Structure 1
Amino acid sequence: METSTVQRPNLAWPLRRMSSDPQLDYDLHKTSIAALVFLVWENLITLDDEVAHIWSKPWNAWIKTVFLFLRYFPLAVQLCNRIISEMVEQHEHLDFSALRAWYISQVLVAHLAMTGVEIVMMARVYALFRNNPWIGHGFIFLWLAETLVVLLGLFLTLPDVHFEPALMITRAPHSFVYLAIAALLSQATILGLTLVRFLQGQWGGTSLGQLLIREGTIIYFIFFVSTMAAAIYSARGLAFGMTEYAWYLSIISTVGCRLILNMQRIPSSSRATDSSFHGTAGLELTTLHASHGAVDASFPGTMSSA
């Protein structure tokens, strides 16, 4: 009598399953390590500025919280990803479910890191418009819409995630496409409002106004290129997605921290000569701390103190 055998799905983690090109996996892994090395190097060369301009601020200063988040959150994620990737490269055993959840959550990690940069950029534009409540409420709505798009993208792409450990080294989740669309729209809005205020002439002749327009344009260009690259690699399933993501986190951390530090380095003499500061009603864009010779960016409803 013939007996039929039923094949059961293999739930074990395929420990040695990598892509068809082991050399490519190795090269991508090392390139991702280079992104971590770059971020560590960036933190080291700007450590003096961090000590001088950030550590002296009280813990209730929002700018200090955002800076430390942008500084060390992406670094911690990078370290975790590089350790996990090394274990995958060496065929070490890892819990499959936990590894898959960590892989899927990377889009949320990127969104949180990008939120730190957007908070700084939104706060500057909000102050440029003299704390206009419509601008403030509009930014809150913009961030909520961006978050909703990211969560929606994560939900829609979950069924399509056929996870294997090699993906931690190669392909980024498809949900990065939704993150890219939402982030680019938010950044375009921020840049557009900055340009509108600049073209109105009130801030055009000040050193602060020139700094905002210059940095806003450069930052948008940097994020446009890096975000579009992440979206293309994710959408097409190219084997460079996770490496680009590693550099994406390093870029977000570097740009965000430099953005804050540049605001702190504005000389006190520049503010004294910028007549537009004296006519600002309500919350000013910057608060001068003569004892530290630095300028601290303000945030809706708060005034930072050194």
Structure 2
Amino acid sequence: MQGGNSSVYFSDSQDTDKALATEIDYRSSVGALTFLVYDICISMDDEINFVWPKPWTRTKFLYLFIRYVPLFVQISILAIGSRELTPALHFTPHDCFIWQVYQGVATVLIFTAVDYVLILRVYALYNNNRTIRRLVLVAFALELCGMGVGLGLSLPGIQFDAICVVTSISDALLIYAGSALIFQTFLFTLTVFKFVKAVREGWGDAPLLGLVMRDGTWAFFLLFAVISSNLYGLKNNTFANVLYAWLLSTFSFAGYHVLLNLDRLSDVPLGTSQSTTNDSPYQFTTRIITDREQANSERELAASHELAIFSGPSGSGTSG
């Protein structure tokens, strides 16, 4: 009799813990969405001034994708994991699985877009060096392969409850997260190496170089921290989904703020050097071009949305 009462007690306790975890997961998602909406609102002036007037380019598309697709994804997934909303939608286990596939694919696309922006910054730092370009592209391809394999292996092992809340995830997700962490570390290492070299050579005070280093540092630690925190779900499956929405919000935040910060710096007259030293082997202009196409005139360049240009050594001109 006592054993039966104990069993009921533990069952009730587990149900209470599960209900609490579900509530925390959902509130965390709402909090991440609120943060992103708030930041979009307070940075809208910069978007209107720097992005809207520009012609459609690859970089403008990237900016809008990074800024608004994570917002759409987070709004759409509010339909799942809610103890009030989800039961009324009568999701089947297959429907829950489709939702997880949707979230996984969306995350890969958002990661890819943000990584591409960070890659372009490294290209600019190294003056579009062919060796660096190939090395980064290989590392990027390996990251995408690792994320794809990790996602493919982990999805079949994900388990859900009646309202599509994740209750168990596969350790294969380590491959997914580990690939992103390794690639972020690789890009940050390249950025730090170039910055240290610039300081030693006496041209590390260029504002554009400082901006790239500053944004690269906070973006790296922010993204590294949120990816690592999501791995907590592997240790505590009850909270497997608690930081997923924050993953989307922080990647979106980092990606579009990197672009906006560079646009602010580029909003000066063309031809003005940003370098304050005569010893720099590179001439830093006020624009960074992230599209491979070169502007045919100063008028086209002034109308472009692009990042900055690091001119080649000793007046060799711009590189694409």
2:306 corresponds, among 281, 296, 300, to 296
How far apart are 1:138 and its partner, in Å? 1.9
**Higher RCO, Cα 8 Å, sep 6+:** 1
Whole-angstrom CA distance in 2 between matches of 1:279 and 1:42:
38
In structure 2, relative to structure 1, the CA distance for the partners of 1:211 and 1:170 (3 Å cut) is: farther
- Runs of 4+ with >4 A deviation: 87-90, 169-175, 275-281, 287-295
Whole-angstrom CA distance in 2 between matches of 1:264 and 1:250:
21
Q: Aligned runs of 1:189-200 on 2, under 5 Å?
A: 189-200=186-197
Q: Does 1:210 align with 2:207?
A: no
Question: In the alignment, residue 206 of structure 1 is paired with which amino acid?
Answer: A
8 Å contact 2:81–2:165 — kept in the other structure? yes
Q: Which residue of structure 2 aligns with residue 10 of structure 1?
A: none
Whole-angstrom CA distance in 2 between matches of 1:177 and 1:19:
29
Moved more, 88-97 or 196-205: 88-97
Give structure 1 stretches of 5+ with no counterpart: 1-17
Question: In the alignment, residue 288 of structure 2 is paired with which amino acid?
Answer: T
Q: Does 1:115 align with 2:125?
A: no
- Report the number of matched residues: 282
Q: Aligned runs of 1:40-51 on 2, under 5 Å?
A: 40-51=37-48
How far apart are 1:218 and its partner, in Å? 1.2
In structure 2, relative to structure 1, the CA distance for the partners of 1:155 and 1:19 (3 Å cut) is: farther
Give structure 2 stretches of 5+ with no counterpart: 1-14, 290-297, 311-317
Q: Which residue of structure 2 aligns with residue 77 of structure 1?
A: 73
In structure 2, relative to structure 1, the CA distance for the partners of 1:36 and 1:174 (3 Å cut) is: farther
Q: Which residue of structure 1 aligns with residue 268 of structure 2?
A: 268
How far apart are 1:65 and its partner, in Å? 0.7
**What is the DSSP-based 3-state SS (H/G/I as helix, E as strand, rest coil) of the residue aligned with 1:254?**
helix
Question: In the alignment, residue 247 of structure 1 is paired with which amino acid?
Answer: W
In structure 2, relative to structure 1, the CA distance for the partners of 1:215 and 1:273 (3 Å cut) is: closer
TM-score by length of 2: 0.76
8 Å contact 1:128–1:197 — kept in the other structure? yes
Q: Which residue of structure 2 aligns with residue 286 of structure 1?
A: 288
The percent of aligned pairs where both chains have the same amino acid is 26
**What is the DSSP-based 3-state SS (H/G/I as helix, E as strand, rest coil) of the residue aligned with 1:24?**
helix
Q: Which residue of structure 1 aligns with residue 3 of structure 2?
A: none
How far apart are 1:82 and its partner, in Å? 0.7
Q: Aligned runs of 1:232-271 on 2, under 5 Å?
A: 232-233=232-233, 235-266=234-265, 268=268, 271=272
RMSD: 3.4
Whole-angstrom CA distance in 2 between matches of 1:207 and 1:109:
35
8 Å contact 1:35–1:246 — kept in the other structure? yes
